[in-house]
Structure 1
Amino acid sequence: MSLNLIIILSLFLCAVVPGLRTTEQLSWLPCRLVDEHVNLNSEGYAETQYEHRDALLQFGHQGDAALNPNTITFLNTGSKVDMRKYTEGAVADQLQCEIRRYSTEGIQMRWPGLGAQEQDIWFTCTLRHEDGLFVITSFLRHAPATPTPGQANFRRWAPIADTETLTTSTVMLVLTRSPSVRAGLLSHQSLHCQFAVDHKAPNLTVEWRLQQRSERITLFRHASRSGQTEGSGVALKGLKGSEGDVSLTLPATKTTSEGTYVCSVSVPPLFGSHDISLHIMEPPRVSLNTDPTVSLVDGGEQKVVCQAEGYYPLDVDIEWFREPSDGGLLPEKLDTVLYSSHRHHRDGTYSLSAFFLLHATLQDSGYKYFCRVSHSSLRMPIRKSFILTVTEFGSWDSMLWLVLVSGFVLVMVAILYVMLPRLTLARRANLKPY
C-alpha cells in the first residue's frame, strides 16, 4: 500500500470515527525526512546537499511491523517522554512533521537514560501546528544493530534505505506554545518554553537570549549542576525534575522589546532551542478636524485633516474617499490628498496626517467623505467620516450667515467709533511735560 493511500485512508477514518483525529489516539504520522549528504568540493570545503524523502513516524513497541513496508519508518517505542502528550489533541492533519539527522558535534558520551550506548545515532523530530499554536522538537535515539565507528560524524552518515525501519525512543523534547507573539506597548508578556527528559536530575542548562539585528543579549542562564543563575524572568521552581516550565516573563513592553527570543535547553550531548518572535503592535488613534457634518456655501473651501497617532510599526496607510450618502455608488478615492512626514515620538510610536482642500459645490451636497486607516495591528481598517452640506450663496442660510457676520462687523465698528475718542483724551491727560 502506498504512503499516499495510507494518508487518504487515515483522513477518511478520522472524518467518520469520532475521536480518532487526536494525536493521543493516532498510531502514526506522515513525515518528511530531510536527509543530508556532505561532501568536500575540489577546494576542500564541505558542501551539503539536502534530500527530501517520505517517511512514517509510527508509535508502538519494539518488534512491531511497519505499517507501510515500502517507505522509511521511524518506529517510536515506549518512553517516559511522549511527544503526542504535548499536542493537546491537535488534529493530525494540522501537524507538519519533519525528521532530520542530529550531530552531537563530536561529543562522544552515553546518554544517561536506560539502554543508551555511546554509538547511538540521533535524530530530531519537529512537529509544527499549521496555525502556529506550538512547535515541538523531540530527540530520537536509535541504537544500530551493528555499530560502525564514526557514524556520528556528519560526513559519514549511515545510509538509510527506502524501506528501512529504524527503532527509536524519545529521550528529550523542547517545545513552545508561543512561536510568534504580538503585543501592545506596556503589556506584560510570557514567552512559553518547556522541556521534558526521560531521566531524573538531568545535567540541565537553560538559557534565554534576545537577538536584535547583529546584537545578542543574554537575559537568563541557569546551570543545574553548579546551581549558578544569571539574569531573571524565569521561575527557578520550574527547573527542577525531569519536566519543567522555563517560560520567560518580560517587563512592560516597549518598542525596544521587539526581537527574536531564543530559549535553549541543553542536556549533554543534546541541545535544543526554539526561536520566539516578539512583534510590538500598537494600533493608531484616528481623528478628524471636522464635526460629523460640515456646512459650506457654494464655492467655499475648507482644509480637512485625518490624523493617525501613536501607532507602531511604521507601515500605516491613510486614504480619503467620498460616496453618496445613500450608498448607491462605489466609493471614489480622492487623488488630491497630501501627507505630512512621519513624526517619531519618544515612546517609539509614530504619527501621520493626510489632508486635502475641500472645494464645495452644490453637486457635492449630501456626499459622505471618509478617511480609512489601515495598519498591521488592525484586523479591520478604521473609518472616520463626515457629511458635507452645501448651500447656495444667497439662500436663507447664506443670507442669515451674511447678516450675522455683517452685524458683528458693524457692532465692532460702532464700539471703536465710541471708544477711540475717549482713549485719545485719556492718553493726552496722562502725558507729562518734560
Structure 2
Amino acid sequence: MIVPRTRSHTMFWTFGGLILALLCLGVSGSQSLYDVQWLPCPFVDEKVHVNEEGHTETKYINREAVLQFGNVGDKPLHPTITFLVTASKVDMRRYLEGTEDKLQCEIRRYSTGGIVMRWPTAGAQDHDVWFTSTIRHSEGLFVITTFLRHATAASAEGQVDYLQWITVNDRDLLTTSAAMVVLTRTPSVEVGFLKEPNLHCQFSVDHKLPNATVEWRLQKHGERNKLFSYSSRTGKSEGSGVAIKAIGAGNASFKLPPTRKNSEGTYICSVMVPPLYGSHDIPLTLSEQPRVSINVGSTLSMILGKDQKLICDAEGYYPLDVNIEWYREAAGGSPTPLFLKNVLYSSHRLHQDGTYSLSAFFYLQPSLEDSGYKYTCRVSHKSLLTPIRKSFSLIVTEPDSTLWYITVIAFIIAMLVILCYMLPQYLAGRKAAKKRF
C-alpha cells in the first residue's frame, strides 16, 4: 500500500533528515565514512633474502590494491589485489573522518618478530599471516593502523615469517579480519610555552580482556626515555600522564605537564598485545609568536637637518629564526616598496622562559623629498601565517626662520652687551698704562 505524501509528511521527513544529518556529522562537523565499501590502498610488498654475507636484504615493491569491506565469500569489486576485511568487533571505518579524497592508505606485511602464538579468537591459527593497513588524513586529522589477520591453509615451518612470506599474486583476494586498531588524532602537535596538550592515543582489540602493555616514550637527541608504562597482566604502572582507568576502555592518551623548551621531541605511544605491536610517533614542537613594536607613533615629525634612531623590536618569539625588514613606500602604498639597506641588528637575546628577542634599527636623516613616505617594519616568523607590520608616516619641515632671526638678534645683543662692558675697562687700562710711562 502506498501512503500519499502530504505537506506535513514532507515537513516531517525534511526535519528528520536534517536531524539525522547533524547526528551523522557529529559535534565536530566531520563526515561519517562508516558505510564506505572500499578504499584504494596500495600494497607495499616485500622480497626478502639472505645474501652471501649472511645479511638480510629487502626489496620493496609498490603494487595496486584495495581494501574491501564485506563478508566471507564476497567477490572482489576491482581487478586488483583485494584485501577483504570481514566483520569483527574492530572496524577501522568507525574512526574515519572527513571525505574519502582526504584519505591516504597503505598496506604492508607485518612480521611478529619470531613470536609464534595463536591469536585468542575463534578460528585463529599459529601460522596466521599478518598485514597492517595504515590510513592517514591528508590534513593531519588522524592516523589509524589496523592489524589484519589472514588465515592460510598450511604453515611453512623452519624459518621466521619474513623469510617465508606467502606469495600474493595480482588480482588475488585475501580474506582478512581486523584484530587490533591503534590510532591517534594528534599526529603532530604545535603549542606555545606553558601549555598542557593532550596527546591522543587509542586502541581497540577484537576480544575482551586483552593482555595489553601500554607505553609512552620521548625521543630526542637520539635517545628514548620512558615516560609511562602499564601492563594489564600485572596491573603495575610506572610514570604518570595517562589515566589508568581509561586504558581499560582503550584510551591511552597522555597529558603533558606545562610545556617548556625541553618538552620538544617525538612522543611515541605503543600498544603491545602479543604477538602484535602497534605504535604512533607524535612530534611536538613549541612555537610562540613575536610581539612587535617600533619606538615612534603612527606619525613622526622631523626638522630638516636632524636625525632620528628608528628601532623595531620583535620580542618573545620561539623558535630562534626570525626575519625583520624595514622598507618605505609612497603614501597610499606602492607596488615596489624600497627595502632599506642601512639596517643594523642586535644579537638575539635569550629570556628565562626560553623565548628570544631581536631589534633592527637604522638612523634616519631625511630630506624634504622624504616627507609623506610611510616607513614599515615587517617581521616574519614560522609561527605567523602572515608577517606582522608596524608603520609610521614621516613629515619633514624646514627650520622655523623666525626662530633663526631671534637667535641672530639675541647673539648680536649679547655681543653688544659684552662690548659695552669690556670697552670702558679696556680704555681705562690703556690710560693707566700711559701714566706710568
TM-score, structure 2 normalization? 0.84
2:229 partner SS: strand
Specify the alignment match of 1:250 in structure 2: 256
**1:394 and 1:295, CA in 2 relative to 1: closer, same or farther beyond 3 A?**
same
User: Quick one: structure 1 residues 213 and 401, their matched pair in 2 at CA, closer, same or farther if it must change by over 3 Å?
Assistant: farther
- Distance in 1, Cα, partners of 2:247 & 2:46: 34
Contact 2:45–2:61, Cα closer than 8 Å, also in 1: yes
Q: Distance in 2 between matches of 1:28 and 1:318?
A: 51
Residues 390 and 82 of structure 1: is their aligned pair in 2 closer, same or farther, counting only changes over 3 Å? same
| Partner SS state of residue 125, structure 1 | strand
Counterpart CA distance in 1 for 2:338 and 2:243 is 56
Alignment equivalent of 2:56, drawn from 25, 46, 64: 46
Q: What CA deviation, in whole Å up to 9, does each residue of 1:116-165 have, x standing for no partner?
A: 11010000000000001000000000001233325752122111101111
- Measure the CA separation in 2 of the matches of 1:373 and 1:39: 55
Find the counterpart in structure 2 of residue 308 from structure 1.
314
Residue equivalent to 1:106:
114
In the alignment, structure 1 residue 167 sits paired with structure 2 residue 175: yes
Q: Indicate how the Cα distance of structure 1 residues 61 and 106 shifts in structure 2: closer, same or farther if over 3 A, else same.
A: same
- Relative to structure 1, is the Cα distance of residues 358 and 191 closer, same or farther in structure 2, using a 3 angstrom cutoff? same
- Select the residue among 391, 395, 411 that pairs with 1:389: 395
State how far apart, in whole Å, the 1-side matches of 2:341 and 2:167 are: 64
Paired letter, 1:253: T
Distance of 1:151 and 1:181 partners within structure 2: 41
Q: CA deviation at 1:402?
A: 8.9
2:36 is matched by which residue type in structure 1?
Answer: L
Q: Distance in 2 between matches of 1:156 and 1:168?
A: 19
1:23 paired residue number: 33
2:85 match: 76
Corresponding residue for residue 61 of structure 1: 71
RMSD: 2.2
Deviation at 1:400, TM superposition (A): 8.8
CA contact (8 A) 1:184 1:253 kept: yes
Show the counterpart of 2:435: none
CA gap 1:179/1:329 in 2 versus in 1, 3 angstroms: closer
Taking a change above 3 Å as real, the CA distance of residues 329 and 125 of structure 1, as seen in their structure-2 partners, is closer
Partner of 1:344: 350
Q: Deviations over 1:55-93 (max 9, x none)?
A: 01000000000112x3100000010000000013x2111
**1:318 paired to 2:324:** yes
Please report how far the alpha carbon of residue 227 of structure 1 lies from its aligned counterpart in structure 2 after TM superposition. 0.6
**8 Å Cα contact 2:127/2:154 also seen in 1:** no
Instruction: Note the alpha carbon deviations across 1:221-255, whole angstroms, 9 max, x for none.
Output: 00010011101111111111xx4111101111111
Q: Match of 1:155?
A: 163
* Rounded Cα–Cα distance in structure 1 between residues aligned with 2:335 and 2:131: 61
Query: Does residue 139 of structure 1 match 2:158?
Result: no
The higher radius of gyration belongs to 2
Alpha-carbon distance between aligned partners in 2 of 1:99 and 1:32, rounded to the nearest angstrom: 6
| Secondary structure, counterpart of 1:93 in structure 2 | helix
CA contact (8 A) 1:150 1:156 kept: no
Match of 2:285 among 273, 279, 290: 279
How much does 1:40 deviate? 2.3
SS of aligned partner of 2:94: helix
The residue that corresponds to 2:366 in the other structure is 360
Contact persistence 2:156–2:164 (CA under 8 A): no
**Paired residues of 2:377 and 2:389 also in contact (CA < 8 A):** yes
- How far the C-alpha of 1:328 sits from its partner, in A, is 4.4
Supply the AA of the counterpart residue of 2:336. L
Q: Match for 1:49: what amino acid?
A: K
Q: Residues of 2 paired with 1:119 and 1:235: CA distance?
A: 36
User: Is the CA contact (8 Å cut-off) linking 1:98 and 1:125 kept in structure 2?
Assistant: yes
Deviation at 1:291, TM superposition (A): 2.1
CA contact 1:22–1:92 (8 Å) conserved in 2? no
**1:93-114 Cα distance to aligned partner (Å, 9 max, x none):** 1111100000000000001122
Which of 227, 230, 234 is the matching residue for 2:235? 227
Q: In the aligned structure 2, how far is the partner of 1:219 from the partner of 1:198?
A: 27
Equivalent residue, structure 2, for 1:96:
104
3-state SS in 1 of match to 2:131: strand
Matched pairs, number: 383
Q: Counterpart in 2 of 1:237?
A: 245
- Flag structure 2 segments of 5+ consecutive residues without an equivalent: 1-20, 25-30, 415-437
Moved over 6 A (4+): 400-403
* SS class of match (2:170): coil
Q: Supply the AA of the counterpart residue of 1:260.
A: T
1:217 paired with 2:240, answer no
TM-score (norm 1): 0.84
The CA distance in 1 between the partners of 2:356 and 2:41, in whole Å, is 45
Residues 1:124 and 2:137 aligned together: no
Contact 2:375/2:391, CA 8 A, preserved across alignment: yes
Whole-Å separation in 1 of the counterparts to 2:224 and 2:120: 32
- Structure 1 counterpart SS, 2:42: strand
AA aligned opposite 1:169: S
CA displacement 1:165-207 (0-9 Å, x = unmatched):
1000001010000011110111111000000000010001000
